[in-house]
Structure formats: structure tokens, C-alpha cells
């Protein structure tokens, strides 16, 4: 009997491959241009405008670019927390202090990640965030997010739920990645909003 980790059912795996193929066709210029538009749209969100602490992440490869957004939030005086991948795929956190505070870290055979080089704040640091920016490959009309399948953010969302805290959950995507329906599992949680380079989509199910 095969043991599939959460989020690794065949329908999700196939859908992930399809979205990753589309992303792989993007050029560096495509990613740069959409990153500035994505930052502008995200900064219009009231949830970010009033946030004192935002948990975010550093995009890699052809993911929707986040560095422009991180710099804009940091310049506003927002405390930005960035993830540090642990050996068990859980996430620790560190504070962002500009692009010079990032270190490139390779985890086994995976793609190298840019992680905060400063003090580790512990996995529970995310509980103090007013908003959590989530990576993903797609979101559907109910706000259900298709992640990359590693389970790291499933752990983060479960940690938030166990603690009874309710930050704004926002997924950052390309325009074509807002779809009618993605497969879901019992542990999946809807997000409150999706930000793409062309605008913001809000979801009632998560409100």
C-alpha cells in the first residue's frame, strides 16, 4: 500500500505539473514585470495597509515575484517575517531587513531558497502575524488553494487554527491561476483573498 503525504493525491499532482509547465515558459522579464504589478495590487489591500506584522516568503524561479512587495512593506515599517525550511518541512521564521539580509540555502536536492540570515524566531512566530502571504499554484472560486505539495504551509495553517488566531490569508498568483475548482482534502483551508498582477479576488468561504 502506498503512503501519500497530505496534498499528494493523483489529481493534485497532475494539476501541479500543468501549472508548473506554464510557469516554466515565463521569461525573467515576465517575472520582473508582473512582480511590480503584483506588489502594487497587494499594497492596496486593507489587510496589508493596516498590518504591523506580515508573514511572507521570498519567491524563487518563475513564482510570482515577491521581493518588490517585501521591500515596500519593510519601507512602510511593517515587520516582515520570512520562512526558514526545517528538516521535517515545517517552517521556522526570521525577520526581513532588506535584500542584504537574505542567504541562499540549498535543502538537499531541492531548489535553493532565499532565507533570512538573522535570528530564528521559532515556528510559533507566525502566530503574531496580522496577515500571512501564501505561495501557491492556483486558487478556486471558493478560495481553496493548490499548494506545491510539500505540506509546509498546511502545518502553518494548522498551527494558526490550533492557536485560535485568524490572520488574513492571501495567496499570490498569476492571473491564469484563478480557476473554477481545485481538488481539496479535509485538511485544506480556504484563503481570504488572491492577489494577481491584474487585481484582487476575495472569497466569501473564508470570511
**Mean per-residue pLDDT over the chain, rounded:** 90
Q: Is 149 annotated as a binding residue?
A: yes
Q: Mean pLDDT over residues 167-180, rounded?
A: 96
| Residues 96 and 82: beta-carbon distance below 8 Å | yes
Q: Is 14 annotated as a binding residue?
A: yes
Strands 168-172 and 193-196: parallel
Q: Is 164 annotated as a binding residue?
A: no
Which pLDDT score, from 0 to 100, does residue 188 have? 83
Residue 6 has pLDDT above 70, yes or no: no
Least confident span in 30-44, 108-122, 160-174: 108-122
Q: Is 18 annotated as a binding residue?
A: no
Global confidence as pTM: 0.90
Q: Is 127 annotated as a binding residue?
A: no
Residue 91 has pLDDT above 90, yes or no: yes
Which pLDDT score, from 0 to 100, does residue 1 have? 27
Identify the band that residue 205 occupies on the pLDDT scale cut at 50, 70 and 90. low
Identify the band that residue 187 occupies on the pLDDT scale cut at 50, 70 and 90. confident
Q: Is 94 annotated as a binding residue?
A: no
| Count of beta carbons in the 10 Å neighbourhood of residue 110 | 11
Q: Mean pLDDT over residues 96-116, rounded?
A: 88
Q: Is 143 annotated as a binding residue?
A: no
Which pLDDT score, from 0 to 100, does residue 149 have? 81
Closest Cα to residue 171, out of 143, 141, 199, 204?
143
Q: Is 1 annotated as a binding residue?
A: no
Q: Where are the domains of the chain?
A: 10-206
Q: Is 204 annotated as a binding residue?
A: no
Q: Mean pLDDT over residues 107-125, rounded?
A: 89
Residue 122 has pLDDT above 80, yes or no: yes
Q: Is 145 annotated as a binding residue?
A: yes
Q: Is 82 annotated as a binding residue?
A: no
Q: Mean pLDDT over residues 133-139, rounded?
A: 96
CATH numeric code, 10-206:
3.40.50.10420
Closest Cα to residue 103, out of 125, 119, 118?
118
Q: How far apart are CA 78 and CA 96, in angstroms?
A: 10
Q: Is 25 annotated as a binding residue?
A: no
Q: Is 76 annotated as a binding residue?
A: no
Q: Which one is predicted more confidently, 16 or 186?
A: 16
Q: Is 23 annotated as a binding residue?
A: no
Q: Is 63 annotated as a binding residue?
A: yes
Least confident span in 32-41, 65-74, 84-93, 197-206: 197-206
Which pLDDT score, from 0 to 100, does residue 2 have? 27
Q: Is 79 annotated as a binding residue?
A: no
Amino acid at each position: 500500500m502506498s503512503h501519500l503525504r497530505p496534498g499528494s493525491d493523483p489529481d493534485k499532482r497532475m494539476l501541479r505539473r500543468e501549472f508548473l509547465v506554464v510557469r516554466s515558459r515565463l521569461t525573467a522579464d515576465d517575472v520582473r514585470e508582473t512582480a511590480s504589478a503584483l506588489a502594487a495590487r497587494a499594497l492596496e489591500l486593507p489587510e496589508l495597509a493596516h498590518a504591523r506584522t506580515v508573514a511572507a516568503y521570498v519567491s524563487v524561479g518563475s513564482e510570482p515575484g515577491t521581493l518588490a512587495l517585501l521591500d515596500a512593506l519593510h519601507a512602510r515599517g511593517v515587520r516582515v517575517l520570512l520562512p526558514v525550511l526545517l528538516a521535517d518541512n515545517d517552517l521556522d521564521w526570521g525577520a526581513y531587513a532588506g535584500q542584504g539580509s537574505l542567504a541562499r540555502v540549498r535543502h538537499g536536492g531541492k531548489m535553493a531558497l532565499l532565507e533570512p540570515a538573522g535570528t530564528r524566531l521559532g515556528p510559533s512566530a507566525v502566530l503574531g502575524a496580522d496577515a500571512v502571504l501564501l505561495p501557491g499554484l492556483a486558487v478556486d472560486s471558493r478560495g481553496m488553494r493548490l499548494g506545491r505539495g510539500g505540506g509546509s504551509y498546511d502545518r502553518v495553517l494548522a498551527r494558526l487554527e490550533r492557536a485560535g488566531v485568524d490572520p488574513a490569508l492571501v495567496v499570490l498568483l498569476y492571473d491564469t491561476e484563478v480557476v473554477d475548482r481545485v481538488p481539496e482534502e479535509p485538511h485544506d483551508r480556504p484563503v481570504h483573498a488572491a492577489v494577481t498582477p491584474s487585481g484582487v479576488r476575495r472569497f466569501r468561504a473564508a470570511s
